[in-house]
Chain A
């Protein structure tokens, strides 16, 4: 009944459209709009189904522990180099830029506050996320994409293994764990970078620099008395980014079609989509956390 009702309504709409002057063009436009909207919603639905399944499988047998460890190595340990470099130079340039700016107010001794707040709250998580999206996201998409086009995903299915459980869950879990770790390292190295510049270029004593770093963290307040608000912000983000990168990469990787060219496309899409999502999601997490946590 419902179906015939809908089709009646649709045919009514159809008739009205036909009566319009630009009938064919309007119909074509509406059809296209309808199809586009449907496919977008479907894509979103598939994405969340994949995310939900991969998270649910963390808690269900069989566990592919070896795969998780291997992915932690791949995602975490092997990304250490770029994260160290990113963190160090970001911290250094932050200190350098802010020293110029703060000098005009005679506030050069507050470099530590600025570097620490920026690194822990924003730059640490976001830059680690972006670097991992580029390095690991592309790798995951390329690997799963190649497995798809060489029928290895079908082979897994055929051999009675759920590819999501075997391939997606270990990657998501590894990213969930490793991205916060990488972020902490990134923050720390960044603050050390700031220290180097503060000491060598600005001439601020190290002790003074570190004191301002701690003061900033304390000033930003504590949640539940013991957890610095900055740390909560700085660790919520990488957990979300980790899941986001891994799920996006797996989504595009598993959805690869069209041979080796398709693998290239999936890789590009993964890096672009996850990078943009990181920046957008970062804004909203900040917005939410700033309203939840009591600062100052």
Chain B
């Protein structure tokens, strides 16, 4: 059991095969043990540090947010992310996790409730005003969403060219700095195009682009999906490094529970359109709730 936990499988189908009531007790005990050992072994300093950094100031806040298209997507979701904190939103696929990020970015507007960034309600903003608010945030998309008509350099430089008066030299310096931060071989990748990069590299360029403007808030949509275990580790460490060294507030949407437990200060479980659990990874691992146990036992 513990072995399986240590070696996460591919993204799809992490569901355990030994289901059934008689397997549940055995499973949850094993899962809890595995998660505790995971937390103890992996970068405890990072988490302690991160916990220390977070203050009481709310940076991203959702208040009783509901959204429906043809069917309800999320209902009465409230969530507070404080300064310097990493909050992860987990849940099954198709439960509206990414929708929450789009609400925070105001790509979508909630039917009911409010979304606050730095205490400012962004729901009544016009399209143009929302563009300005978005500059406080860096978003890392699931498939990196790099502009494939532009080189890596142009991609990372894009937000700088759009919104700053920086000179070409300053921009080049900033781009190199960001690419170094995400551990890429700058001289090799800088002139390459997204199609020439591997999935992990693309994701790192995506992170570099997201942080080019030095935003205080980073949003990640499934940062580790589709990556091998080693690259997953690299990305997780990178997200933690961002929080540690730059003090950014992060909102991570993921179903990779192992990665989430390593980097998050708080975990919100989205189930049945609502947040059914909100707490630290340890609290989540220790929960007796059947659904949470099933969810954790799935990997």
Question: How far, in whole Å, are A156 and B105 apart by their CA atoms in the complex?
Answer: 12
Is there an interface contact between B147 and A158, defined as CB atoms closer than 8 Å? no
Is A154 at the interface (CB under 8 A from chain B)? yes
Can you name the residue of chain A whose Cβ is closest to the Cβ of B158? A159
Determine which of B128, B139, B142, B143 lies in contact with A158 in the assembled complex, contact meaning CB atoms within 8 Å. B139
Determine which of B137, B148, B159 lies in contact with A152 in the assembled complex, contact meaning CB atoms within 8 Å. B148
8 Å CB contacts to B: which residues of A111-168? 147, 150-152, 154-162
Is B197 at the interface (CB under 8 A from chain A)? no
Closest beta carbon of chain B to A9's beta carbon, Å: 25
Is B134 at the interface (CB under 8 A from chain A)? yes
Q: What does the 1/0 interface line of A50-73 toward B look like (CB < 8 Å)? A: 000000000000100000000000
Is there an interface contact between A161 and B141, defined as CB atoms closer than 8 Å? no
Is there an interface contact between A154 and B141, defined as CB atoms closer than 8 Å? yes
User: Which of chain B's residues have a CB closer than 8 A to the CB of A159?
Assistant: 134, 158-159, 162, 209
Q: What does the 1/0 interface line of B246-281 toward A look like (CB < 8 Å)? A: 000000000000000000000000000000000000
Is there an interface contact between A151 and B134, defined as CB atoms closer than 8 Å? no
Is B45 at the interface (CB under 8 A from chain A)? no
Is there an interface contact between B147 and A152, defined as CB atoms closer than 8 Å? yes
Question: How far, in whole Å, are A160 and B130 apart by their CA atoms in the complex?
Answer: 8
Is there an interface contact between B147 and A155, defined as CB atoms closer than 8 Å? yes
Is there an interface contact between B142 and A162, defined as CB atoms closer than 8 Å? no
Can you name the residue of chain A whose Cβ is closest to the Cβ of B143? A150
Question: How far, in whole Å, are A158 and B209 apart by their CA atoms in the complex?
Answer: 11
User: Which of chain B's residues have a CB closer than 8 A to the CB of A156?
Assistant: 147
Is B43 at the interface (CB under 8 A from chain A)? no
Is B188 at the interface (CB under 8 A from chain A)? no
Determine which of B102, B131, B139 lies in contact with A155 in the assembled complex, contact meaning CB atoms within 8 Å. B139
8 Å CB contacts to A: which residues of B115-167? 127-128, 131-132, 134-135, 137, 139, 141-143, 145-148, 158-159, 162-163
Is there an interface contact between B134 and A158, defined as CB atoms closer than 8 Å? yes
Contacts A151-B143, A152-B147 given; indicate if A158 touches B107 (C-beta within 8 A).
yes
Determine which of A151, A157, A160 lies in contact with B142 in the assembled complex, contact meaning CB atoms within 8 Å. A151
Closest beta carbon of chain A to B157's beta carbon, Å: 11
Contacts A157-B134, A160-B134 given; indicate if A150 touches B162 (C-beta within 8 A).
no
Q: What does the 1/0 interface line of A156-187 toward B look like (CB < 8 Å)? A: 11111110000000000000000000000000
Size of chain B's interface in residues, with CB distance under 8 A? 23
Is there an interface contact between B105 and A152, defined as CB atoms closer than 8 Å? no
Is there an interface contact between A155 and B134, defined as CB atoms closer than 8 Å? no
Question: How far, in whole Å, are A162 and B134 apart by their CA atoms in the complex?
Answer: 12
Is there an interface contact between B105 and A157, defined as CB atoms closer than 8 Å? yes
Closest beta carbon of chain A to B262's beta carbon, Å: 25
Question: How far, in whole Å, are A276 and B162 apart by their CA atoms in the complex?
Answer: 38
User: Which of chain A's residues have a CB closer than 8 A to the CB of B131?
Assistant: 157, 160-162
8 Å CB contacts to A: which residues of B55-110? 102, 105, 107
Determine which of A62, A150, A160 lies in contact with B132 in the assembled complex, contact meaning CB atoms within 8 Å. A160
User: Which of chain B's residues have a CB closer than 8 A to the CB of A152?
Assistant: 145-148
Can you name the residue of chain B whose Cβ is closest to the Cβ of A162? B131
Contacts A154-B107, A155-B139 given; indicate if A160 touches B145 (C-beta within 8 A).
no
Is there an interface contact between B134 and A150, defined as CB atoms closer than 8 Å? no
Contacts A151-B141, A154-B107 given; indicate if A160 touches B162 (C-beta within 8 A).
yes
Question: How far, in whole Å, are A158 and B142 apart by their CA atoms in the complex?
Answer: 14
Is there an interface contact between A161 and B145, defined as CB atoms closer than 8 Å? no
Contacts A160-B134, A160-B162, A161-B162 given; indicate if A155 touches B145 (C-beta within 8 A).
yes
Closest beta carbon of chain B to A199's beta carbon, Å: 47
Question: How far, in whole Å, are A155 and B139 apart by their CA atoms in the complex?
Answer: 8
Is there an interface contact between A160 and B159, defined as CB atoms closer than 8 Å? yes
Question: How far, in whole Å, are A147 and B137 apart by their CA atoms in the complex?
Answer: 21
Closest beta carbon of chain A to B138's beta carbon, Å: 8
Question: How far, in whole Å, are A157 and B146 apart by their CA atoms in the complex?
Answer: 13
User: Which of chain A's residues have a CB closer than 8 A to the CB of B141?
Assistant: 151, 154-155
Contacts A151-B143, A151-B145 given; indicate if A158 touches B105 (C-beta within 8 A).
yes
User: Which of chain B's residues have a CB closer than 8 A to the CB of A154?
Assistant: 102, 107, 139, 141, 145
Report the 9 A-B pairs with minimum CB-CB distance, sorted nearest first. Answer: A151-B145, A155-B145, A158-B139, A160-B131, A151-B141, A159-B159, A160-B135, A152-B145, A160-B134
6 A-B contacts (beta carbon < 8 Å): A154-B139, A155-B141, A157-B107, A158-B134, A159-B134, A159-B158
Apart from A155-B139, A155-B141, 18 more pairs, CB < 8 Å: A62-B162, A150-B145, A150-B148, A151-B142, A152-B145, A152-B147, A154-B102, A154-B139, A156-B147, A157-B107, A158-B107, A158-B134, A159-B209, A160-B132, A160-B134, A160-B162, A160-B163, A162-B128
